[in-house]
Amino acid sequence: MDLNLQGKNVVVTGASKGIGLATARSFATEGANVHAVSRTVITEDGIESIPLDLTDHAAARQLADRVGEADILINNLGGVVPGSLTAAGFLDLDDDTWQATYELNLFATVRITRALLPGLLNRRGVVINVSSIGARAAFPPVDYGTAKAALNNLTKALAEEFGAGGLRALTVTPGPTRTANWSDPQGYAGRLADQAGLTLEEFITTVPGAMSITTGRLTEPEETAALITFLASDRSGNLTGADYLADGGVIKTV
């Protein structure tokens, strides 16, 4: 299927690894002009690496100045911040942790979207926000889940306010996805493994059962990237405001 993405100007945030890198590669394979943003510089064929700390308030303007008008913006930046990773629960989350979580998962995306929106509107473009099943169900940590729930609301609001002007806005909602968050002993799964008194390898084998992953396995980043790429293409030209689960069936509600 030709996705007609050749030459499209695509910005992917949080793109040095995981779902973001898989997404940047997927668009590059389709012939798009890809700008990958992260703090780390990456070297990949067909991808321009833009090193920025997107929690820095000046970064959104710098990004917009660098890329000019974008056709497609993939707001993939996000994750569980260190203070949240080690917190025992709600009472253990202090103001600084809440602030850091919202900077990473919501406010940076608000600033980037605002800076790129004039160009996106000019090109009748697409914004895809990468959320989490934590937005749909009360999985800890609560600061992360609530920030992602706000992101879902932002997607819908953008779709409504700017839809008549030609913008499409969609949410993609990953469940457990085999990125460093699940393979790094210092990452999200490593902490949960410690709490459960298991090695990371032992813990990972318990995840499909413990999280009721219907397919019995974690999602691969490339699978989520393929969904994002399709949704951003004009093959999906009449889809907007919707939220697409990429979770192997974790979320059971209709």
Ligand X SMILES: NC(=O)c1ccc[n+]([C@@H]2O[C@H](COP(=O)([O-])OP(=O)(O)OC[C@H]3O[C@@H](n4cnc5c(N)ncnc54)[C@H](OP(=O)(O)O)[C@@H]3O)[C@@H](O)[C@H]2O)c1
The catalytic site residues sit at: 144
Radius of gyration for the chain, computed over Cα atoms and rounded to the nearest angstrom = 18
- Smallest distance from the beta carbon of 165 to ligand X, in angstroms? 26
d(CA 170, CA 190): 31
| Helix, strand or coil, per DSSP, at residue 212 | coil
- Smallest distance from the beta carbon of 87 to ligand X, in angstroms? 17
Stretch that binds ligand X, among 16-24, 93-101, 153-161, 163-171 (CB under 6 A): 16-24
| Helix, strand or coil, per DSSP, at residue 72 | strand
Stretch that binds ligand X, among 12-20, 90-98, 115-123, 208-216 (CB under 6 A): 12-20
Dihedral-angle region of residue 244 (phi above 0 means left; psi in -120 to 50 means alpha; beta otherwise): beta
* Nearest residue to ligand X, by Cβ distance, number only: 18
Q: To which residue do tokens 């008194």 refer?
A: 197
| Helix, strand or coil, per DSSP, at residue 51 | strand
- Smallest distance from the beta carbon of 5 to ligand X, in angstroms? 21
> Whose Cβ is closer to ligand X: residue 76's or residue 113's?
76
Binding pattern to ligand X, positions 161-200, x when CB under 6 A?
A: -------------x-xx-xxx-------------------
Burial class (CB in 10 A: 0-12, 13-18, 19+), 197: exposed
Q: With binding defined as CB under 6 A, does residue 100 bind ligand X?
A: no
Closest Cα partner for 137 from 19, 220, 14, 247? 247
> Whose Cβ is closer to ligand X: residue 17's or residue 123's?
17
Q: With binding defined as CB under 6 A, does residue 74 bind ligand X?
A: no
Sequence-distant (6+) residues with CB within 8 A of 82 are none
d(CA 156, CA 242): 7
Interaction residues for ligand X, span 34-73 (CB under 6 A): 38-40, 53-55
Q: With binding defined as CB under 6 A, does residue 97 bind ligand X?
A: no
Q: With binding defined as CB under 6 A, does residue 132 bind ligand X?
A: yes
Interaction site with ligand X (CB under 6 A): 14-20, 38-40, 53-55, 76-79, 130, 132, 174, 176-177, 179-181
